[in-house]
Amino acid sequence: MKPILLVGAGFAGAVYARSLAEHGYAVRVIDRRAHLGGNAYDEVSAEGVRVHRYGPHLFHTNNEQVVEWLARFTGLTPYEHKVTALLADGRHVPLPVNRTTLNAVFGVNLRDEEEVRRFLAGQAEQVGEIRNARDHLHAGIGRTLTDLFFAPYTKKMWQLDLHEVEAVVVRRIPIRADDEDRYFPRDRFQFLPTDGYGKMFERILAHPDIAVELRTPFRHEMLAAHLHCFNSMPIDEFFDCDLGALPYRSIRFHHSACRDDLDSGPTAVVNFTDCGPYTRRTDWSRLPGHRVARTGWKTLTVEEPCDFRDNGMERYYPVKTSDGRFDRLYERYKERAEQLPALTFIGRCGTYQYLDMHQVINQSLAGVRTWLAGQAQAA
């Protein structure tokens, strides 16, 4: 039987590869990068600190099945993520916005959740139809909070104004009436892989029926030699962007070494509210298990969003506009892909979705089950 081709050694490709190998298939995994793990890849810096090369990846989910699957390949170090925002006057306030944030920003003394709700209702504006992210925010929290925490960040992150952004992009960010300052308080499982993502991916792909080839880009002639291809490359790139390119935002990561005693803020991640080019800073030494060696130094990373074409074609976040024009373009590519029976697009770039890690794993496990069921039916 011909082997199965997996394009991409990130979460989608690794989950498909391991699951298919465990069902008796020979699997070939290729990736044009020089490492496993996709955007979750990490490595230890010269300062002795584990750094996530493509920005912080913090695992959180309520999906027990996903956690059980991952626990086969890594220890799980508990970590409940917190984020603060740096204000213009040097103060740090919790994000997402909570009662503490409101009291600091507005100089008020809101004493309980009911007072917070009344206060926010007084800030909110009358908006008719919610057509975009700006409408959603103005109707929920008013202009002051929108202009402080959302408008500058959105402009930097997406190079779009709020009225150009789909409401769903900001709808997932809560405004809290209590003092809850954890970023993911509703998720039962919050952790980091004990030995890092790199080691975890090595274990996932360590199977006798999985062959991994790094520094190997996809070529169309590969398809004929394989029973099926599960492909996590950008779907528009597969078709040479002949219908037009799907836009992505990318990130330039600026790493710096500093002495351990430098105060980097109260949380591992600090967001910037100014109109400068940077969105956030990560102090990796603040994450549990990330201090690998004591050198007296630590690593900080500042993120600068940009267009993917200005960053070596590195695609991180699909652009979702309020008019849906890029989603419609994706649907046209998807229709063409569905005419190729031995090919399935997977993962963020293959499906042009913003997906968290647990969503990719769950989607991939389900995708394998569906494909195996189809194979059994066809036999």
Give tens-digit pLDDT for 317-326. Answer: 999 888 889 9
pTM metric for this prediction: 0.92
Please give the pLDDT value at position 321. Answer: 86
Please give the pLDDT value at position 293. Answer: 96
Domain limits, the chain: 4-36+205-243+321-378, 43-82+182-194+248-318, 97-171
* CATH level 3 topology of 4-36+205-243+321-378: Rossmann fold (3.40.50)
Residue 167 CB partners (closer than 8 Å, separation 6+): 130, 131, 132, 133, 135, 136, 322
Please give the pLDDT value at position 225. Answer: 96
- pLDDT single digits (tens) 191-249: 999 999 999 999 999 999 999 999 999 999 999 999 999 999 999 999 999 999 999 99
Please give the pLDDT value at position 322. Answer: 83
Please give the pLDDT value at position 122. Answer: 95
Q: Which residues of the chain have pLDDT under 70?
A: none
The residue among 159, 151, 164 whose CA lies nearest residue 308 is 159
Backbone phi and psi for residue 10, each to the nearest 5 degrees, phi listed first: -85, -160
Q: 13 and 230 in contact (C-beta within 8 Å)?
A: yes
Q: What is the CA radius of gyration of the chain?
A: 22
Please give the pLDDT value at position 17. Answer: 98
